[in-house]
Amino acid sequence: MPKSVFRGVRISGVAGAVPKYRVDNLTDHAFVPAEDRKKIVDLTKVAGYRKTPPGMCASDLCQAAAEALLSGLGRRPDDIDAIVFATMTPDYRVPSTACLLQDRLHCQTSVVAYDINMGCSGFVVGLYNACALIQGGALKRVLLLAGDTQTKLCYDQDKNVVFILGDGGTATLVEADPGAGEIVIELMTDGSRFQNLYVPAGGFRRPSTEATREVRQQPDGAMRSDDHLYMNGMEIFKFSVTDVVKSIAGFMDQQQLSPETIDLLFLHQANWFMNDKIAKKLKFPSDKVPYTIAFYGNTGSASIPLTIAHHFSGQGSRENARCLMSGFGVGLSWGIVSTVLSGIYSPPIVEIA
């Protein structure tokens, strides 16, 4: 896709919310020997993550984040023109959860609201939508919500995923501002590889049945049903360290950016080993690549804004911090954003029980 350049649009605040309950990767997951648990934590740096209880959804986390954000910024629900909710874990299969959030956040019925079914690239795709609604649709304020409860997609004894994937929700306020700099976004898609990260059954192509719900040993040796999330770890690793790195390097080259001119690189928090390889290939020093994976794990569409919120929480971004962001995952879908964050508001991460 050609790069899209949005002008007169700015990110004015980012907030995050997580469930209070914490999974400890060293002491939980008794189905894996303690020595192996330690090795996995040493590799991924995911010491633990937050997990929603039954009945708590990604929308609940995003709602809490949105309320903290709007309150802190002194904005009222009536100020919002659109709600874009990026998630792969909606409340219901029908309708779009964004419609429910219009009501729960007490926004006007004139609001534009829709979901985007995306995972780890969800924030970047959502930001593209928010910017397009403002630049092309003449809206003034878009509330971009990005969140997932991936723990609900996983079989709790599939070690390929239960040591990494956590739950989180975020809210980002994107506003029209004639004085704002550019937001440059590039999105990419390769659906030919979708089966490397997907839930095989439970949709309309292959509805959930007693057979698809049966937990059994799969060809990769892991235990799960076809209604659970499957990840081909090596193929996703390969995708991330080759396709994604190549795309980011090409983007930087075309935008005449370099590790020296970029202040912060916000990567989707996949796992530490993988992200460290990506950052090293791009020649970024570690102090320019914030990580939150140790606290929250990989939170899907929430991971980039949750990392931004965690990084700037309570302090605001310094003036004119040039930031590069990249989300990549299910689809396969990936994207890159270049923008300057200046004085954004980020309240402390909200915990909900």
Partner 1 sequence: MKHAAGRAPMEERIRELFATMLQVSPDAVDDETHPASLARWDSMQHLILVSGFEEEFGVDVDPEEAIDMYKDFATFKEIMLQKLEGRS
Q: How far apart are CA 245 and CA 62, in angstroms?
A: 30
- Residue 144 — φ and ψ, nearest 5°? -95, 115
How many residues lie near partner 1 (CB under 8 A)? Answer: 21
Q: Which is nearer to partner 1, 285 or 348 (CB)?
A: 285
Cis, bond preceding 332 (omega within 30 deg of 0): yes
Q: Does 26 bind partner 1 (CB under 8 A)?
A: no
**Whether the Cβ atoms of residue 2 and residue 121 lie closer than 8 Å to each other:** no
Shortest distance in whole angstroms from residue 229 CB to partner 1: 15
The binder of partner 1 chosen from 144, 222, 289, 330 (CB under 8 A): 222
| Active-site residue, selected from the candidate residues 107, 298, 311, 323 | 298
Q: Is 62 a catalytic residue?
A: no
Q: Does 193 bind partner 1 (CB under 8 A)?
A: no
- Determine the Cα–Cα distance for residues 246 and 56; give it in Å rounded to an integer: 38
Subset of 128-167 contacting partner 1 (CB under 8 A): 159-160, 163
Residue 259's closest CA among 322, 303, 317?
322
Q: Does 190 bind partner 1 (CB under 8 A)?
A: no
Cβ 39 to partner 1 shortest distance, Å: 5
Q: Residue 62 in 3-state DSSP?
A: helix
Q: Per the residue annotation, which of 29, 228, 268, 310 is the catalytic one?
A: 268
Assess whether 268 carries a catalytic annotation. yes
**What contacts 174, CB < 8 A, 6 or more positions away?**
9, 10, 11, 12, 127, 130, 131, 134, 141, 142, 143, 144
120 is catalytic: yes
Residues noted as catalytic: 120, 268, 298
The residue ranges that bind partner 1 (CB under 8 A) are: 39-40, 42-43, 159-160, 163, 220-222, 232-234, 237-238, 241-242, 245, 273, 277, 281
